[in-house]
């Protein structure tokens, strides 16, 4: 690499650029380098302050692998990459812990332990979300002719909650329901100008991945809501919203997912205040007139 090329690399390597670069290079990375890449992306706030030894221990890869990943990304070595991460972290307005952790009164108290985990998920999600990506997704929702949401398992539930929430604020959103039709049989519904929002969390559904890939190949806009930017559906999406979903059980916690859905819906409503307010008032009026509310 020439000195001029090295200077250009340094100029363009801000932290968000590094995330995009890792995502771009990820499919071609060896398995051990993927471990390091995943660790860096999932620990955005603390990674700049860790030594190569600490990253080795926590990622499960060797020190040499950490260095090779840095070089694969265009750096001379680990220290140069970390220097950029530190500088960028200092320049950004960091979102610190928004929700204080509840005090633990006993290790055996399931309620407190689960609440701790969910609060940590929400904090981690807030810290790792790129505000620009979040606002971009809100604008994509507003500009779409129609929004579709898809997912299986808990992701199916989240897709329906998103559809319900967006419809409440006058955004036409339809969940793709895996019932008498497979996802692939519903692909014809997603036309030019439409937007697909896909939910996918471990263990990843092959059907969801194949459906998202097919939609992307039809040149339709795709947003991925998943656990990490390098998850399988992330490579077919123009925007990725990573959500922390760690749980004490083998399933995924959905607390941070619902926070994101609520935040997205609120952002969309604020950007489309008149139409959203009119829709909410009209819905309220119709429900009252037709006796849907308990009057006792």
| Maximum average pLDDT range among 35-44, 113-122, 146-155, 246-255 | 146-155
User: Closest by alpha carbon to 241, among 225, 257, 259?
Assistant: 225
Find the helix packing angle between 154-168 and 255-271, rounded to 10°.
Answer: 20
Q: Calculate ∠ Cα 250-231-154, nearest 5°.
A: 40
Q: Among residues 91, 121, 148, which one ends one of the domains?
A: 91
48 and 175 belong to one structural domain: no
Q: Is residue 234 part of a domain?
A: yes
Are 150 and 278 in the same domain?
yes
102 is a domain residue = no
One domain for residues 142 and 280: yes
Q: What is the CATH number of the domain that holds 176?
A: 3.40.50.10490
Place of tokens 């994101």: 260
Quickly tell me which residue has 């969940």 as its tokens: 175
Listed residues 34, 63, 91: the one ending a domain: 91
Across 39-43, 73-77, 107-111, 282-286, which has the greatest mean pLDDT?
Answer: 73-77
Number of domains into which the chain is organized: 2
Quote the longest CA-to-CA distance of the chain: 79
Q: Omega before 203 cis (within 30°)?
A: yes
With 90 as the cut, is the pLDDT of residue 187 above it?
yes
- Per-residue CA distances from 246 to 11, 45, 113, 157 (Å): 36, 18, 12, 17
Evaluate whether residue 228 is within a structural domain: yes
Q: Return mean pLDDT, the chain.
A: 83
Measured distance CA(257)–CA(245) in Å, rounded: 8
Report if residue 203 sits inside a domain: yes
Q: Is residue 219 part of a domain?
A: yes
On whether residue 281 sits in a domain, the answer given is yes
| DSSP type of residue 250 | S
What torsion do the CA atoms of 224, 227, 232, 236 make, to the nearest 10 degrees? 20
The last residue of one of the domains, among 57, 91, 125, is 91
- Name the residue range of residue 161's domain: 135-285
Higher local confidence (pLDDT), 247 or 237: 237
Work out the average pLDDT over 193-216.
Answer: 95
The reply to whether 191 and 279 lie within a common domain is: yes
Is 79 in a helix, a strand, or coil?
Answer: helix
Residue 110 to residue 114: CA distance in whole angstroms: 6
Specify the pLDDT at position 80: 83
pTM, two decimals, is 0.70
Same domain, 43 and 162: no
57, 192: one domain: no
Confidence of residue 42 (pLDDT cuts 50, 70, 90): confident
Select from 33, 42, 29, 27 the least CA-distant residue to 61.
33
Q: What is the CATH number of the domain that holds 74?
A: 1.10.10.10
pLDDT over threshold 90, residue 21: no
Residue 292 has pLDDT above 80, yes or no: no
Lowest-confidence pick of 45-49, 169-173, 192-196 = 45-49
Crossing angle of helices 78-91 and 63-72, in 10° steps, is 70
Q: Does residue 265 share a domain with residue 168?
A: yes
Measured between alpha carbons, how far is 50 from 113 in angstroms, rounded to an integer? 27
Q: Are residues 86 and 139 in the same domain?
A: no
Here the tokens at position 127 are: 């810290």
What pLDDT shows up at residue 134?
95
Residue 94's CB: how many other CB atoms inside 10 A? 9
CA dihedral sign of residues 10, 14, 15, 21: negative
Residue 105 in domain: no
Give the pLDDT score at 175.
94
Q: Are residues 159 and 281 in the same domain?
A: yes
CA dist., res. 247 & res. 249, Å (int): 5
Locate tokens 């960091």: which residue? 94
Classify residue 208: in a domain, yes or no: yes
For 66-78, the pLDDT digits (tens) are: 999 988 888 888 8
């Amino acid at each position: 690499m020439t000195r001029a090329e090295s200077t250009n690399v340094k100029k363009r390597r801000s932290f968000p650029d590094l995330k995009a670069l890792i995502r771009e290079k990820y499919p071609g990375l060896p398995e051990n380098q993927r471990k390091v890449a995943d660790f860096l992306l999932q620990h955005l706030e603390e990674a700049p302050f860790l030594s190569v030894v600490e990253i080795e221990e926590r990622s499960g890869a060797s020190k040499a692998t950490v260095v090779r990943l840095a070089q694969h990304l265009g750096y001379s070595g680990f220290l140069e990459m970390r220097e950029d991460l530190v500088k960028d972290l200092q320049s950004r307005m960091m979102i610190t812990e928004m929700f204080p952790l509840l005090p633990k009164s006993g290790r055996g108290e399931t309620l407190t332990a689960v609440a701790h985990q969910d609060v940590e998920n929400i904090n981690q999600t807030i810290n790792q979300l790129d505000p620009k990506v979040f606002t971009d997704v809100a604008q994509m929702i507003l500009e779409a002719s129609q929004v579709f949401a898809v997912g299986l398992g808990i992701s199916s539930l989240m897709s329906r909650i998103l559809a319900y929430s967006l419809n409440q604020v006058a955004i036409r959103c339809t969940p793709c329901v895996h019932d008498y039709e497979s996802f692939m049989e519903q692909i014809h519904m997603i036309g030019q100008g439409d937007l697909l929002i896909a939910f996918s969390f471990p263990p990843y559904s092959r059907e969801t991945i194949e459906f998202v890939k097919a939609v992307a190949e039809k040149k339709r806009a795709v947003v991925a809501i998943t656990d990490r930017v390098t998850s399988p559906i992330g490579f077919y999406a123009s925007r990725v919203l990573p959500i922390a979903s760690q749980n004490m059980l083998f399933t995924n916690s959905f607390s941070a997912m619902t926070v994101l859905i609520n935040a997205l819906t609120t952002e969309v409503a604020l950007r489309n205040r008149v139409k959203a307010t009119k829709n909410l008032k009209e819905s309220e009026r119709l429900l009252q007139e037709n006796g849907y509310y308990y009057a006792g």
